[in-house]
Amino acid sequence: MTVARRFTVTGQVQGVGFRWAAQGEADRLGLVGRVRNRTDGAVELTAQGEERAMQRFADWLEQGPRWAEVVDVDVEPIDLFEATSFEITR
For 71, the domain range is 15-88
Mean per-residue pLDDT, 4-30: 98
Q: pTM for this structure?
A: 0.96
Residue 8 lies in a domain: no
Pairing verdict, β 2-12 and 32-37: unpaired
- Least Cα distance to 22 among 41, 7, 12 occurs for 7
Q: Which helix (H) or strand (E) holds 50?
A: strand 43-50
pLDDT, position 5: 98
- Residues annotated as part of the active site: 19, 37
The domain total for the chain is 1
- Within-domain flag for 10: no
80 within domain boundaries? yes
**Tens digits of per-residue pLDDT, 30-83?**
999 999 999 999 999 999 999 999 999 999 999 999 999 999 999 999 999 999
CATH of the domain at 81: 3.30.70.100
Instruction: Tell me which DSSP letter residue 12 carries.
Output: E
C-alpha 86/C-alpha 35 separation (Å) is 8
Q: So what's the pLDDT on residue 10? A: 98
Return all residues near 2 (Cβ < 8 A) that are at least 6 apart.
48, 49, 50, 51, 80
